[in-house]
Amino acid sequence: MDYSPNTRALDGVTLDVKKGEWATIMGPSGGGKTTLLNIIGCLEKPTKGRVVVEDTEVTRLREKELTRFRRENFGFIFQQFHLVSYLTALENVMLSQYFLYGRKFDYDDAQAALERVGLSHRMDHIPSHMSGGEQQRVSIARALVCEPQILLADEPTGNLDQKTGSVILELLKSLHSEGHTIMLVTHDLSIGKMGERIIQLVDGKITEDSSN
């Protein structure tokens, strides 16, 4: 039996995403989709190769530089929302400001981000008092408040019903039309077709890269 203790989550992946593009990453579970998104977003480091974002080779940055770069350039939207349960919607959004700017908060910007996703009436509610769709919109506001150009979305509608998921996707379409670069992981081909490009990832390798 040929046994190797090492697993290659990604294997020789080469990818170039243009500014303002919507690229969807698809493929079976365990194929490396989330790992690829995390490496692009500077949440994980590749063991080999290089990652270049806006002419910056992020794989050469020191940890503090990398953290700063990630917070300034990326907004993250997760399937599980990852909101702090005891903070209000407004406070959850301001967390992004805290991590980027330290103790400097801008209530107006945080409120504007929530208004942008249609939640001006839910600013003082905690997550348990909001629906799943509302929580996901809070997470999108949190991703937007520091004005990143690149949005990374990992199954953003995975925990939502179809109707609520459609609201989230329409919001992402609107953000894309404003010039945001979007990279989205999904299993749903109908969602994949919403973007300009579909990247199929199987066993850590790109098997197809096509434009819609």
Contact call for residues 39 and 205 (beta carbons, < 8 A): no
The torsion of the CA quartet 52, 21, 165, 86, rounded to 10 degrees, works out to 40
pLDDT at 103: 64
Cα 9 from Cα 1, distance rounded (Å): 21
Record the pTM: 0.89
pLDDT tens sequence for the chain (212 residues): 444 556 677 888 889 999 999 999 998 888 899 999 999 999 988 888 899 998 899 999 999 899 889 988 999 998 888 999 999 999 999 988 887 777 667 888 999 999 999 999 999 999 999 999 999 999 999 999 888 999 999 999 988 998 899 999 999 999 999 999 999 999 899 998 898 999 999 998 999 998 76
> Which residue shows structure tokens 């949005």?
151
Cα 70 from Cα 37, distance rounded (Å): 13
Cα 132 from Cα 1, distance rounded (Å): 46
Contact call for residues 194 and 22 (beta carbons, < 8 A): yes
Contact call for residues 113 and 142 (beta carbons, < 8 A): yes
Those residues with Cβ within 8 angstroms of residue 137's Cβ, 6 or more apart along the chain or in another chain: 117, 118, 119, 167, 168, 171
Contact call for residues 182 and 151 (beta carbons, < 8 A): yes
Cα 162 from Cα 133, distance rounded (Å): 10
Per DSSP, the residues of 54-71 read TTEEGGGS-HHHHHHHHH
CATH of range 2-211; options 3.40.50.300, 3.40.1180.10, 3.30.565.10, 1.10.10.10: 3.40.50.300
pLDDT at 5: 53
Cα 30 from Cα 125, distance rounded (Å): 36
pLDDT at 6: 65
pLDDT at 3: 46
Contact call for residues 79 and 158 (beta carbons, < 8 A): yes
